[in-house]
Amino acid sequence: MNLIVALFLLAGSAPAHESAHDSARSTIDQAYQLLRKGHGAQAAAVLKAARDKDPREPALHLAYQSTMYDIGKYDEVRKDYKKRLKANRKDGLAYLLYALTVIPRKEAEALVDEGLRADPDNVWLKSAKSMTSAYHLIDQGREDEALKLAYDPAAPGMIAPVVHSVRAGAFYGQGRFEMAIAEFMAAFDENPSDIASRLGLAQLYADMSDYDKALPLCREALLLHDGPETRYALANAMYIMGKPVEARKKYKEIAAMRPVSAGDYEAVGWAQLALGNTTESTHSFIEIETISQGYDAPKLDLAYLKATVFGAKTARERYDELLRRNPRGANARLGSGLDYMGLGNFQEARDEFKKVLADNPKSWNAWMGQGYSDMRLGRREEGIKELLEAFKLMPDNYDVNRSLGSGYNAMKRYDDSLKYYVRASQIDPESADAFAGLAGAYAWAGQHESAVKAYEQAISLSASRTDKRQYAQWLETEKTRAR
CATH number of the domain that 380 lies in?
A: 1.25.40.10
**Cα–Cα dist 349/54, whole Å:** 62
Please give the angle made by the CA atoms of 171, 172 and 176, to the nearest 5 degrees.
Answer: 60
**Mean predicted confidence (pLDDT) in 398-409:** 94
Q: Give Cα separations from 406 to 376, 418, 459 (angstroms).
A: 11, 9, 20
* Torsion, Cα of 131, 132, 134, 140 (10° steps): 160
Rounded-to-integer distance, Cα 280 and Cα 205, Å: 29
Q: Kindly state the DSSP code that residue 446 receives in the 8-state scheme.
A: T
CA distance 375 to 392: 18
Which of 394, 426, 453 is at the close of a domain? 394
- What's the mean pLDDT in 91-95? 77
CA neighbor of 68 nearest in space, from 159, 158, 131, 6? 6
Q: What is the per-residue pLDDT for 437?
A: 92
> Do 380 and 418 sit in the same domain of this protein?
no
Question: Is residue 196 situated within a structural domain?
Answer: no
Identify the top-confidence range among 183-192, 198-207, 376-385.
Answer: 376-385
Contacts 24+ apart (CB under 8 A), 275-279: 275/248, 275/251, 276/463, 278/305, 278/309
Q: What CA–CA distance (Å, rounded) separates 301 from 271?
A: 13
How confident is the model over 187-210, as a mean pLDDT? Answer: 84
Q: Which of 366, 394, 422 is the last residue of a domain?
A: 394
The answer to whether residue 253 sits within a structural domain is no
8 Å CB contact between 341 and 349: yes
28 domain-assigned: no
Q: Which tens digits make up the pLDDT trace of 11-56?
A: 444 444 445 557 887 888 888 788 767 687 888 899 889 988 887 7
Shared domain for 422 and 390, answered yes or no, is no
Alpha-carbon gap, residue 361 to 359, rounded angstroms: 6
Residues with Cβ < 8 Å from 258, sequence gap 6 or more?
A: none
Residues 390 and 300 occupy one common structural domain: yes
More confident of the two residues 143 and 307:
143
Question: Does residue 166 form part of some domain?
Answer: no
Range of lowest pLDDT (172-181, 237-246, 303-312): 303-312
User: Is 361 strand, coil or helix?
Assistant: coil
Confidence of residue 264 (pLDDT cuts 50, 70, 90): confident
Pick the closest to residue 103 from 64, 132, 74, 72 (CA basis): 74
Helix/strand number for the chain, H first, E second:
28, 0
Q: What is the pLDDT of residue 336?
A: 86
Q: How far apart are CA 138 and CA 442, in angstroms?
A: 50
Residue 352: inside a domain: yes
Residue 310 lies in a domain: yes
Residue pair 367/389 in contact (Cβ under 8 Å)? The answer is yes
Q: Report whether pLDDT(234) > 90.
A: yes
pLDDT score of 428 more than 50: yes
**CA triple 8-126-200, angle to 5 deg:** 65
300-333 residues labelled b (16+ CB within 10 A) or e (exposed): bbbbbbbbbbeebebbbebbeebbeebebbbbbb
Percent of the chain past pLDDT 90, that is, above it, reads 37
Which domain covers residue 464, as residue numbers?
411-483
388 and 423 inside one domain: no
The whole-chain average pLDDT of the chain stands at 82
CA atoms lying within 13 Å on the CB side of residue 191: 26
Kindly state whether residue 466 falls inside one of the protein's structural domains: yes
Give, rounded to a whole angstrom, the gap between the first and last alpha carbons of the chain.
67
The confidence band for 174, taking pLDDT boundaries of 50, 70 and 90, is confident
Does residue 366 sit in the same domain as residue 446? no
Within-domain flag for 420: yes
Same domain? 332 vs 300: yes
| Residue 157 confidence (pLDDT) | 61
Judged against a pLDDT cut of 70, whether residue 104 lies above it is answered with no
Least confident of 7-16, 78-87, 147-156, 318-327: 7-16
- Note the pLDDT of residue 155: 60
Residue type, 372: Y
Residues 373 and 430 in one domain: no
Helices (H), 361-464: 364-376, 380-393, 398-410, 414-427, 432-444, 448-461
385 plus 343 within the same structural domain? yes
Domain final residue, candidates 394, 423, 445:
394
Distance CA 320, CA 322 (A): 6
pLDDT bin (cut points 50, 70, 90) of residue 292 is low
The whole-angstrom separation of Cα 8 and Cα 113 is 22
pLDDT of residue 112: 84
Helix axes 346-359, 330-343, angle to 10 degrees: 160
CB 388 within 8 A of CB 410: no
Residues 352-365 have pLDDT tens digits of 999 999 988 999 99
Q: How far apart are CA 444 and CA 409, in angstroms?
A: 8
Residue 448 neighbours by CB under 8 Å, 6+ apart: 442, 478, 479, 481, 482
For 224-237, letters b (16+ CB in 10 Å) and e give bbebbbbbbbbbbb
Is the pLDDT at 8 greater than 60? The verdict is: no
Domain count, the chain: 2
